[in-house]
Structure formats: C-alpha cells, structure tokens
Amino acid sequence: MKAIVVERPGSPAEFTWTEVPDPEPAADEVLIDVAATAVNRADLLQAAGHYPPPPGASPILGLECAGTIAQVGADVTGWAVGDQVCALLAGGGYAERVAVPAGQVLPVPAGVDLVHAGGLPEVACTVWSNLVLTAGLRAGQTVLIHGGGSGIGTMAIQVAKARGATVAVTASRAETLDRCRELGADIVIDYRADDFVTALPAANGGRGADVILDVIGAKYLTRNIATLADGGRLVIIGMQGGTTAELDINALMRRRAGVIGTTLRSRPGTGPGSKAEIVAHVRAELWPLVSAGAVRPVIDSVVDLPDAARAHRRVADGGHFGKVVLRVPDAGAPAAGN
Ligand SMILES: NC(=O)c1ccc[n+]([C@@H]2O[C@H](COP(=O)([O-])OP(=O)(O)OC[C@H]3O[C@@H](n4cnc5c(N)ncnc54)[C@H](OP(=O)(O)O)[C@@H]3O)[C@@H](O)[C@H]2O)c1
C-alpha cells in the first residue's frame, strides 16, 4: 500500500507518498481500506518530531479514518467485510490501509458522507469524553470553549448546545467568531482584543463558566481558574500555551473547583477509561445526535492525502474552520472546498 512517510521531520516537515508494507490485522482487529483521514494538531507535532507515537502504535501519522472493512480478525464480532466505518486510531491513518482494534470502530452515522466521516472520530471522542463523561456538562450550565473554530471547538459548540448549555467561545478572527455564532455559540470573545475573565461574566449575567474546555494550558491556567463559577471544572486537553505554570490553590479552593487534564491517544485500548469505552459511549449517546442532524462534522476543506503537506500548512497557518480532511485518491468523492 501507499502511505505518507515523514521524509524530514520539522515545521513544516517533508513528506513522501510512497510504498510501505501493508498492516497485518491481529485477531481482535479489523483492516480498513481508508477513504479519508484528517489533520489533527497532534499530527503537526509528530511530524515535527515532538510527539512520538505510543508504544506499539504505527509510526505513520493519522489518528482517525473512515473507509470500508477489508478483513476481519478471528476474534472480532459485530463487523463484516464491506461495512462502511470510521475509527479512532493510535496512528497509521495517513495510508491506504490501517489495522485497528474492533473496539475503536464506529459505523458511519446516517447522513454523513464517507469522506467527511474521516474527520469525525477524534473530535467526537475527545469532546464527548471531556465535556460529558469527565466534566458532566448539563443543561443550564455555562461552558467556555477556547479555540471555537478548531476541529475540537466546532464539535464542542454543537455538543454543548445539544446538551442545553450556554456556550461561550474564544477565537482570534471576526469571521471565525461569526461562524461560531452561526454554529450555536451564545457568547463570542476575540481573545486578542478582550480578556475572557471579564468578557464572559459581562455577557452572561455575571456568571462564570461551570466548565472550561482548554487547549492552551500554562498561559491560561490562572485566568481560567479566575473564570470558573463555584464548583466549576477546568478540563485541559492542549498545551499550545506551554506545560508549566503556578497554580493558585487558594483560588481553586475558594471556588471548590477542579482542574483535570486528559489525552485520548495515550489511553489504553480496552478497560476502564479506555478508547474502546469512549467509543462505546460515543456510539450510544453522540451518534444518534449526529444521525438526527443536531451535530454534524464541520469540514474546512478536503485535500488529497498525497498533498498532506499542503493540508498541514493550512492548519499551521490558522484561519481554518473545522476539520481539514485528507482524501485517499480514487477511494471517495473528489477533493473539494479548498
Ligand atoms: N488531549 C486530547 O486528547 C486532545 C485530542 C484532540 C485535540 N487536542 C488538542 O485540542 C486542540 C485543538 O485541536 P485541533 O486539532 O482541533 O486543532 P486546530 O484546529 O489547529 O485548532 C487550534 C485552535 O487553537 C486556537 N488558539 C490558539 N491560540 C489561542 C489562544 N491564545 N486562545 C484561544 N484559542 C487559541 C486557535 O484559534 P484561532 O485560529 O481562532 O486563533 C485554533 O482554533 C489542540 O491543542 C490539540 O492538541 C487534544
């Protein structure tokens, strides 16, 4: 098969679309003929040489895919050759074929194009696990989502609205803020012009955030805690603003607040807190919302996989809205939207 191989790590990295050995599915895995994968910020870090795959994972980039099952391992039940699926991967998505544990496979939700489904699993699993399973976001609560225009942000806005929350977002461009509002955000904050610590309560009847989904980390820690309502939870899933900061424990205690950090990729495949457990929740609880059209994949653009370097530049430069999908040539609809 062919795959994207990182020829020279860096920012930008140099890629080649070249022949590599086919993956061999284990007894608990299925082999997927990939129609599409998608760019995640983690791919940019891995391509730069800063985010090695977890032990046992494919060294090939790609944390998600959609496609057609080509082979089913001996111990797998519930999936058959020919099923159209999407899957959460620990790696290996930037390729014509990938082997994945059956517990990380999802059906393509009704009404979602197979190519667009390649950009769904990572954001669906990250947002559902953090906003719903970890933070317990409920109707009537306020959530602050940093980076509302990101792949993660566009899914988080919709999930939070579907759960009946008041949604505030930060982003850096007027056009991105407008599109977040169209997607359902109630409060939009330009983080370059305004301080969310004061802007959120000013627009929310004096109330802070019950939940914050944060992708910045150290740079926002103090301000995030200052923005939490009593009993609030700050869930940190990204470190774009650094990894190390001082924590004001007094501010945390006064609010009876919690700070939680999670990563999806490093979770075990099975067992408590695993990828399979999250995938099962997503299938049972989020997929019906997607099939009903209440939550949809937001696709910035579709780029042919051999041109992955261009797709990475699009994400690195910023200004995209939603996911940049990578289509395997001859496997699905023609590239469009970019
Ligand atoms: N822990 C996990 O399991 C997990 C899983 C998936 C993703 N993530 C993390 O989630 C984040 C989003 O991922 P993605 O793939 O969706 O990336 P992406 O589309 O490239 O989005 C990055 C976002 O960060 C925003 N941003 C940058 N600086 C900001 C600031 N100072 N304040 C507020 N927002 C800021 C950008 O907003 P503007 O463009 O408007 O400036 C952009 O929307 C990444 O940090 C990624 O590492 C974590």
Same-fold call for 2-120+297-327 versus 124-261: no
- Confidence (pLDDT) at 283: 98
Q: Is residue 152 within 6 Å of ligand 1 at its C-beta?
A: yes
The predicted model gives 94-113 an average pLDDT of 98
Whether the predicted pLDDT of 97 surpasses 60: yes
From ligand 1's centre to the CA of 149, what distance in Å? 8
Looking only at the bridges linking them, the beta strands covering 323-327 and 14-19 are unpaired
Q: How far is the CA of 171 from the centre of ligand 1 (A)?
A: 10
- Report strand pairing: 209-214 vs 142-146: parallel
Cross-strand bridge partners of residue 83: none
Which of 63, 128, 150 to probe ligand 1 with, by most ligand atoms within 8 A of CB? 150
Q: How far is the CA of 21 from the centre of ligand 1 (A)?
A: 33
Contact 176 CB / ligand 1 (< 6 Å): yes
* Beta-strand relationship, 29-38 and 64-72: antiparallel
Mean pLDDT value across residues 119-143 = 98
Average pLDDT over residues 117-138: 98
Cα 318 to ligand 1 centre (Å):
10
2-120+297-327 has which fold? Quinone Oxidoreductase; Chain A, domain 1 (3.90.180)
Q: What share of the chain is helix, strand, coil (3-state, %, to 5)?
A: 30, 25, 40
Least confidently predicted of 88-97, 182-191, 328-337: 328-337
**199 has a pLDDT exceeding 90:** yes
Q: pLDDT band at 331, cuts 50/70/90? A: confident
Ligand 1 mean position to 69 CA, how many Å? 31
**Which residue's alpha carbon is at the smallest distance from atom 26 of ligand 1?**
147
**pLDDT of 46-70, one tens digit each?**
999 998 898 989 999 999 999 999 9
Task: Specify whether domain 124-261 bears CATH 3.40.190.10.
Answer: no
Nearest residue (by CA) to ligand 1, atom 5, is 126
Cβ–ligand 1 distance for 276 under 6 Å, the answer no
- Phi, psi (degrees; rounded to nearest 5) at 116: -65, -30
Residues 71-91 have pLDDT tens digits of 999 999 999 999 999 999 999
Amino acid 333: pLDDT? 46
Task: Please report the beta strands in the chain, taking only residues with DSSP state E, as ranges in sequence order.
Answer: 2-8, 14-19, 29-38, 64-72, 84-88, 97-101, 105-107, 142-146, 166-171, 187-190, 209-214, 228-236, 258-261, 299-304, 323-327
Question: From the CB of 134, is ligand 1 less than 6 Å away?
Answer: no
CA dist 261 → 2, 71, 335 (Å): 36, 36, 36
* Over residues 123-128, mean pLDDT: 98
* Alpha-carbon gap, residue 273 to 123, rounded angstroms: 17
* pLDDT per residue as tens digits for the range 169-185: 999 999 999 999 999 99
Measured in Å, residue 28 CA sits from the centre of ligand 1 at 33
* Structure-block tokens of residue 162: 């579907």
- Residue 165: predicted pLDDT: 98
pLDDT single digits (tens) 21-53: 999 999 999 999 999 999 999 999 999 999 889
104 lines ligand 1 (CB under 6 A): no
Ligand 1 contacts CB of residue 237 (under 6 A): yes
Measured distance CA(7)–CA(216) in Å, rounded: 29
Residue 12 preceded by cis peptide, ω within 30 = yes
| Backbone phi, psi, residue 188, to 5° | -120, 135
Ligand 1 atom, smallest distance to 171 CA: 40
| Rounded distance between C-alpha atoms, residue 66 and residue 312, angstroms | 19
State the pLDDT at residue 338: 36
Which whole number is the average pLDDT over 201-223? 98
Q: Distance between CA atoms of 91 and 20, rounded to whole angstroms?
A: 15
**pLDDT over 50 (residue 335):** no
153 CB under 6 A from ligand 1?
Answer: yes
CB neighbours of residue 247 within 10 Å: 11
Domain locations in the chain as residue ranges: 2-120+297-327, 124-261
- How much distance in Å is there from the Cα of 75 to the middle of ligand 1? 37
Tell me how far the alpha carbon of residue 213 lies from the centroid of ligand 1, in angstroms.
10
pLDDT number for residue 273 = 96
pLDDT value at position 109?
A: 98
Q: Say if residue 336's pLDDT is above 90.
A: no
Q: What is the DSSP letter of 91?
A: S
Dihedral of the CA atoms 205, 207, 212, 217 (nearest 10)?
100
Mean pLDDT of 138-153: 98
Q: Is the pLDDT of residue 132 over 90?
A: yes
Is the CB of 216 inside a 6 Å radius of any atom of ligand 1? yes
Q: Which residues, at least 6 apart from 257, have a Cβ–Cβ distance to it below 8 Å?
A: 225, 228, 230, 231, 232, 233, 234
B/e letters for 119-148, b = 16+ CB within 10 Å, e = fewer, are bbbbbbbbbbbbbbbbbebeeebbbbbbbb
* pLDDT computed for residue 330 by the predictor: 82
- Which residue has a Cα nearest atom 35 of ligand 1? 147
Pocket test for ligand 1, best of 43, 152, 155 (most atoms within 8 A of CB): 152
How confident is the model at residue 141, as a pLDDT? 98
Q: What is the CA angle 244-89-20, rounded to 5?
A: 110
Q: How far is the CA of 147 from the centre of ligand 1 (A)?
A: 5
